[in-house]
Each structure stands twice: as structure tokens, then as C-alpha cells.
Chains A and B, each alone.
Chain A
Amino acid sequence: MIYVVIGFLWLSICLYVILGGADFGAGIVELFTKKKARHKTKEIMYESIAPVWEANHMWLIIAIVILFVGFPEIYTTMSTYLHIPLVLMLLGIIARGTAFTFRHYDAVKDDWQVLYTQIFYYASLLTPFFLGLIAAATVSQSINPNATNFLDLYIFSWLNWFGVAVGLFMVAICAYLASIFSLRETRDKLDLTLMIKKSKQTMIFVVITGLLVFITAYLSGIPLVTWVFSKPLGIMAISFATVALALILRAMNQRKLLPVRALAGFQIIMILVAATYQHNPDIILLGNGQHLSLLEHIAAPKTISALGWALMLGSLFILPFLFYLMFSFTKAKKS
């Protein structure tokens, strides 16, 4: 049953990065769009996320619940030593979620919209950045419970160049996903050309920040290269992601939009496989040499089995309902 639980944990993180990421990306892309095209971009972006956006950030909650029920030590270690970036990420989630709702449901459209929109933009940027920073901190051995002073315990546990690079990479991925996903929402050729240009720009950003992650890892002594390229699965995942990139470009030029979307999702999953599989089952590598493992630092067997059943039962209800929601809105838009 533990593998079911780990599977769901991984799935919810994946889905949060892809769906929630596209969500955040919508704000980021809008932020980096010139004023002239902003309104257009906003409309297109909005079309693609509106009905499901409430559901998207639920994946994060599921991941958090799985962590604290099934892997309490991992959860408490993170929430103790990564307190500050977690609070900052939380701030982003709050600001973004509410600003999005406010700007959409506000009965009056006036100058207040400008404020919600600004909050929405910067919060969209902040959240994935800190999400990346937190993810980086878990594997960069920067958390050291044996440290004795405040700075080492609660600041340098997450603040380092590798973390910043991963944060930026995460931002890039979100923007990339959002622009790719929105291609299918465009209404005419002009819009499509605009969004394809955006997709290509964000793609470059992904590649650059991706390289930055490897460079900072190397400089900080994090064996990222060994992790990714020492096991066949890692090499395969990275190769697939690269091939997908080429295929996406090709499909984009041929204006085949469904494959573009599917390939982008696949590509991100491959990147996540490469990033997570290599030190699996260890999920937190601590600075004192200790590793917190998904197979060892787990809750009591009865808890794990109850959690596994709850997740399977839950997904029976959720997944068909969610797919029906997505399907019916795609259909409604087309008709």
C-alpha cells in the first residue's frame, strides 16, 4: 500500500506542477506581456483556466495531506526548517487565489481591477519561485538540524544559489506551460501567432534556467549530473524530454495544437521523473548526512493502508468528475 500512497503523492505533485503551474504561468505570461497585447493575452489565458482553476490548487492540498498523514517526519522537518519560504509561498497562494477571484467576480469593473491584477501578477511569480526554492532545499543538503544558530537553521537552510536557480526554473516552466496550454484557446490566426511566439520565448527561458540549475548545482557541489545521468531511467527521461521539445516545435509550426499540449505535459513529467527518481526513495537529504526516506520514515501500517484506500476511493469520485468538467468546457467552447 505504501507504493499506492507514494504514487498518489507523486501524481499530485506532478499534477500541481502541470495544472497549477499552467495557472501560475498565466499570471507570469501576462506580467511579461507588453501593455498593448496584455488584454488579449489575459482573455486567452483566462479561457484556458477559469472553470478548473479552483480545482487546480487542490493538488497541493492533497500532497500536503499525504505528507502529514503518511510521512509526518518529512512534513515536520520541512515545516520547521523551511518555515520562512513556506510562509512566503503561502503568501503567494493566498494573494493569487483571492486576487484571481476578486478580479473575476467583482461586480463592478473599475480601477480596483488594476490592483487585483497587479497582486495576481506578482503572486503568480512569487509562488512557483518559492515552490522551486523549497524543492531545491530538500535535496541540496542545506537543511542541517545539527546547526546551532538561527541563520544556519532557518535561513541558509533554503537560501542558496542552487535554490534560486531551481526557483527561476520553476517560474520558467510555469510560463512555458501556460503559453503552450493556451494555444488551443486562441480564436484566430493572429492570436495563435502571438501565443506561439510567446511559447517559443518561454521555451528559451526554460532551457536557460535549466542550464543555470546544472551550473549552480555543480558550483554548490550537488551531484545533480550524477543523479540524472547515472541511471538508465534518468537518461531516458531527459532524452524523452529533449525529443519532446523538438516535436513540440515541429507540431507548433504545423499548427497541430492538441499534440503540442500533450507533449508539453509529457515533457514536464519527464523532467520531474529525472529530478525525483534519482535519489528516490530519499526525499529530504539533510546536511548532517541523514536522509529521510519515503520507505523508512513512514506512518504506522494501519495509517498507510487507510490513507491508501482513502486516496483510491477519492480518486474514483474525483477523476471522472474532473475530466467531465474539463471535457464539457472544451466542448462548450468549440460549439
Chain B
Amino acid sequence: MDDFIAARAQMALSLGFHIIFACVGMVMPFLMAFAHWKYLKTNNEVYKGLTKAWSKGVAILFATGAVSGTMLSFELGLLWPGFMKHAGPIFGMPFSLEGTAFFIEAIAIGFFLYGWDKFNKWFHWFCGFLVGLSGLASGILVVAANAWMNSPAGFDYIDGQYLNIDPIKAMFNDAWFPQALHMTVAAFCATGFAVAGVHAYLIMKKKNVEFHTKAFKIAAGFALIGAFGAPLSGDVAAKSVAKRQPIKLAAMEAHFETERGAAFVIGGIPDEKKGEIKYALKIPKVLSFLVSNDFNSEVKGLNDFPRDEWPPVAVVHYAFQIMIFFGVVMICIGAVYLYSLFFKKEWLTKNWLLKTFLFATPFGYIALEAGWTVTEVGRQPWIIYGVMRTIDAVTPMPGIQYSFYFFTAIFVSLSLIIIFLLRRQIKMVPKLYDPTDIQFNDKNKKS
């Protein structure tokens, strides 16, 4: 493995890992705060238990997100010093603000976890809510920094020099809003489905049914918001990509020839050498409509761009297809759930509905990872779109492959431990968190 590929693989792995925890960290506190709010309103101890159970999840995942985020802040320099030397001062603004947001999150978590019965109950509740709010803010800020790589702004690039730097302009680049919006919605969708899936499984197993049903309802509600919001925000994102990075859009759709009234391509196997796509389902004129609200508008094809500026077409195309596929599946599940909520209440307790949610547990995260692949791989070969190539940014240090193996081992073991820990949390629900369970002992009520 050469150093460049190793560096990219390590970065991809780190981001892929961090994104999961970052998204849980953004959304889970809101679930927790919602349960907490229900408790304060109803005084139902089950909600208190649920809040505590979720808060432990938040704590574990926050810590993991924090360390993987720390790793990333180092890796940016360790792997891409050529990039950071120029980009740091330009796109660093959101990172410096993110530091504040993240700090507030860390403090608020301290208040929340250790603050039961110590503070005014609404202050305590607010701290939990603040964990989510600041998590959301840091997510949005980091995405704004990433968006700058897709839509460089706030500087003039003249003769290899980065002049007239304006970090505020760089932060509010053209891509930040569509990317942040889509990311946030996707995070709600993914976390909602993941949490709902876990609780659906436990309801099916007939364990602490009331507890898990309450949890399931809240999580499914969040999943619904995400599932229906995703296509809307996705549309905004796609239009923005078409405008800023037409080559990325062309790769997403494996769209080789520039044409008017371009078809929306579903599935298929792209052949980069021949410049065609086989076995695909084509819906005429829809792509044109999607990118410009006009069925006959022109959509640029890959062939209009220099060959050495093409991203890996197949990867981007497949990733995009995977995202769309799982997105659509989640919308369907959401629709069924919504229908049963209003018209067929008896479906809600049916095993098939719960089973559907169980299967859907990873769907949101698969879609999320696929979406990030589209964003990141679709930007290649550029690290700063149109300005700096990724290969010019890589560290001169040799032997990065070992670093890649090393970090892979870390990520794999961390993932295993987290799964192990979360399973143990779930196993202890009867004893620690569900006050209606006979195993629940008084001693734990105070902790």
C-alpha cells in the first residue's frame, strides 16, 4: 500500500468512525432531554429511568466521539500537513467556534450526569438539552469547515499563493448550509432508527415492555422527522452540488454525456473506460428537473471535464445509489408507522412492525456513511476543490501504511468495546433503569 492511499484510507476510516459517534452525540441528547421533559411533566418514574439509561449511552458515546474527534484534529496535520499549512488559517474559523461549542457540551454533560437532585430541576433539564444543542452546533460548524473544501471561499488563489484571506467568508461558503442541513436531518434519521430498532428488539423479546415501548415511541418520532426531512434537504443539497461541483453530480449519476432533458439513473454498472452505464433504470428528464426545476435544462456530463479531474465514478455512483435506496426504504417504513399511528393503532404492537424497525436499525447509518462517501470521494482528486490536489497535501513521512494498520486496530477494538458496553447497559435495564421491574432495587434510585 503506498503512503498516499494509506493516508486516504486512514482518514476515511477515522471520519467514517467519528461520524457515527458525532451523529449520535448530536441527536441522542435530544432523545434524552425529551424523555426527561416527559418525566418532569408526568412524574412517571419510567421516564426518569429511561432518561438515565439514555444518558449513560450519551456519556459513553460522547467520550468516544470526543476521542475520535481529538484524533481527527491531530490527523489533519499528521496526514495532510500540506493542506493544513494553507487551509488552517482560512477554514479554521468554524473549528475555533466548534471548540467553544464542544467545551460547553462537555461542561453541560458534567452538570447533567452528576446533577440529579442537586440543582433546580429545570436547570438540570436545560443542561441535558444544552448537551444536544451544543452538539448540534459543533456538528454544523465542522460540516461548514468540510463544506469549504467543496466550495472554497474567502481567499484569492494567485500564483500558488493564498491571498486576501477572510475566514468569515470562508465559513459561510456556498456549500455550508445545504451540507449542514442535510447532515443534521440525516443524523436525526439515522439515530432515530438505530435507537428505535434496539428498543423494538427488546419489546419483541418481551423485556420491560412498558419501558421499551416508551423509548421506542420517542425514538421512532425522531426517526420520522429525519426520514421525511432527508429527501427535502437532499434536494437542496443536490441542487447546490449541481451548481458548485457539476462533476461530482455527474459522477453521482454516472452521467457521461452532456445533454438536455437528462434522465435520472437508478442502479446500473458504470464503465468509466467506455463512458457508459449498463443495466440502469433511467427515468427520462428527471435529473434535469431535480437540478434546476426545468425538465429540459442541460446537465453537464463527465466527458466535458478533463479526465484527470474525474472522481472515481463507480464509487461515487454506488455510494449515491446506496444512500438513495436506504433513504427510500426509511421513508416507506416511516409512512407505514405514521399510517398506523393515526389509522391502525393495532399495528403498533404487531411483531412485523417491530421486526421492520429492527431490520432498519443500521439503515440510517449506512445511508449516512454512503452520503459522506459521495461528498468526500466525489471531491477527489481535489482536497480543496479546484485549488489543491489531495496528493500535494499528503505528509512526506514514509510508512503511513503502518499508521493505517495501527489506527484500524484502534478503531476496531473501540467499536467492539462500545458494542459490548452498550449491550451491558441494555442488559442492566431491569436492575438499574426500569422502576416497574421487580429487580429494580431502591439503592439505585439515587445514583
Counting CB contacts under 8 A, is B166 at the interface?
A: yes
- State the CA gap A150–B400 with chains docked (Å): 13
A314 CA / B94 CA spacing, docked (Å): 12
Asked if A105 and B100 sit within 8 Å, CB to CB, the answer is no
Taking a contact as CB atoms under 8 Å apart, the answer to whether A101 and B59 are in contact is: yes
- Answer whether residue B119 sits at the interface, using C-beta atoms and an 8 A cutoff: yes
Quick check: A299 and B165 within 8 Å, CB to CB? yes
* Secondary structure call for the A interface: helix
B74 near A318: Cβ-Cβ < 8 Å? no
Q: In this assembly, does B245 line the interface, its C-beta being within 8 Å of a C-beta of chain A?
A: no
**Chain B contact patch, size range:** 35 or more
Contact across chains for B96 and A311 when beta carbons are under 8 A apart? yes
Query: Given the complex, which residues of B lie within 8 Å of A245, measured CB to CB?
Result: none
Q: Cβ of A52 and Cβ of B110 under 8 Å apart? A: yes
Give A300 to B154 CA distance when docked, in angstroms: 12
Q: A-facing mask of B424-443, CB < 8 A → 1, else 0?
A: 11011000100000000000
Docked pose: A322 CA to B103 CA in angstroms: 9
Q: Which residues of B contact A105 (CB under 8 A)?
A: 56, 59-60, 421, 425
- Are the C-beta atoms of A58 and B110 separated by less than 8 Å? no
B424 CB to nearest chain A CB (Å) = 5
- Given A102-B417, A106-B421 in contact, is the A55-B81 Cβ separation under 8 Å? no
- Contact between B424 and A54, CB atoms less than 8 A apart: no
A68 touches B84 (CB 8 A): yes
Q: Which residue of B lies closest to A308 (CB)?
A: B96
Contact with A along B53-87 (1 / 0, CB 8 A): 00010011011101111110110111001101110
The answer to whether B84 and A101 touch across the interface, beta carbons within 8 angstroms, is no
Cβ of A76 and Cβ of B67 under 8 Å apart? Answer: no
Q: Which of the listed residues A54, A80, A307 has the most CB atoms from chain B within 10 Å of its own CB?
A: A54
Interface string of A25-65 (1 = CB under 8 A from B): 00000000000000000000000001110110110111011
Q: Does any Cβ of A come within 8 Å of B90's Cβ?
A: yes
Tell me if B306 counts as interface (CB < 8 A to partner A). Answer: no
Whole-angstrom distance between the alpha carbons of A79 and B84 in the complex? Answer: 10
The interface bits of chain B over 145-177 (1 if a CB of A lies within 8 angstroms of the residue's CB, else 0) are 000000000000000000001111000000000
Cα(A93)–Cα(B72), bound, Å? 13
Say yes or no for B183: interface residue by CB 8 A criterion. no
Distance in Å: Cβ of B279 to nearest Cβ of chain A:
44
Q: Is the CB of B428 within 8 A of A107?
A: yes
Q: Is the CB of A51 within 8 A of B56?
A: no
For B329, list chain A residues within 8 Å (CB): none
Residues of B contacting A101 in the complex (Cβ-Cβ under 8 angstroms): 59-60, 63-64
B contact residues around A107 at 8 Å (CB):
56, 421, 424-425, 427-428, 432
B60 nearest CB neighbor, chain A only: A105
Interface residue B305 (Cβ < 8 Å from any Cβ of A) = no
Judge if B99 is at the interface, Cβ distance under 8 Å. Answer: yes
Within 8 A of B (CB), among A213-230: none
Interface with A: B332-340, B343-351, B355-363, B390-398, which one? Answer: B390-398
CB of B88 within 8 A of CB of A69, answer yes
B92 to chain A, nearest CB (A): 3
Q: A79 near B74 (CB under 8 angstroms)? A: yes
- For window 364-419 of B, CB contacts with A under 8 Å fall at 395-398, 403, 406, 410, 414, 417
B104 interfacial contact with A, CB 8 Å = yes
Q: Is A87 part of the contact surface with B, judged by Cβ < 8 Å?
A: yes
Residue with the greatest number of chain B CB neighbours at <10 A, chosen from A76, A90, A106, A314: A76
Q: How far is the CB of B223 from chain A (nearest CB, A)?
A: 25
Interface centre among B64, B69, B107, B397 (most CB of A within 10 A): B107
CB <8 Å contact, B110 and A300: no
A190 at the B interface (CB under 8 A)? no
Enumerate A146-194 residues with CB–CB distance to B below 8 Å: 150, 153-154
A79 touches B96 (CB 8 A): no
Instruction: Tell whether A282 is near chain B: CB-to-CB under 8 Å.
Output: no
| Contact present for A307 and B93 (CB under 8 Å) | yes
- B203 nearest CB across to chain A (Å): 20
> Which one of A252-260, A266-274, A324-332 is at the B interface?
A324-332
Q: Which of B63, B68, B113, B424 neighbours the largest number of chain A CB atoms within 10 Å of its CB?
A: B63
A61 to B68: give the CA distance in the assembly, Å. 12
For A78, the closest partner residue in chain B by CB is: B77
What residue in chain B is nearest A84 (Cβ atoms)?
Answer: B397
Whether A83 lies near B118 (C-beta < 8 A) is no
Distance of A48 from chain B, by nearest CB (Å): 13
What 0/1 readout, one digit per residue, does chain A (312-327) give for beta carbons within 8 Å of chain B?
A: 0110011001100100
B92 touches A65 (CB 8 A): yes
Q: Which of A50, A61, A332 contacts B99 (CB 8 A)?
A: A61
Closest residue of chain B to A304, judged by CB?
B89
Q: Is the pair B421, A150 in contact by a Cβ cutoff of 8 Å?
A: no
Residues of B near A87 (CB, < 8 A) are: 74, 78, 403, 406
Cβ-defined contact, B77 with A108, below 8 A: no
B113 — which chain A residues lie within 8 A by C-beta? Answer: 51
Assuming the contacts A87-B406, A90-B74, A325-B111, asked whether A102 and B99 have C-beta atoms less than 8 A apart, the reply is no
Instruction: Mark B residues whose CB is within 8 Å of A.
Output: 56, 59-60, 62-64, 66-71, 73-74, 76-78, 81-82, 84-86, 88-90, 92-93, 95-100, 102-104, 106-111, 113-114, 118-119, 165-168, 395-398, 403, 406, 410, 414, 417, 421, 424-425, 427-428, 432
7 contacts between A and B (CB under 8 A): A55-B107, A100-B63, A107-B432, A108-B427, A310-B96, A325-B107, A329-B114
19 new A-B contacts, CB < 8 A, other than A61-B99, A303-B90, A314-B103, are A52-B110, A54-B106, A61-B69, A61-B73, A65-B73, A69-B88, A72-B88, A75-B77, A76-B82, A80-B395, A80-B397, A86-B78, A94-B68, A102-B417, A102-B421, A299-B88, A303-B165, A306-B168, A329-B114
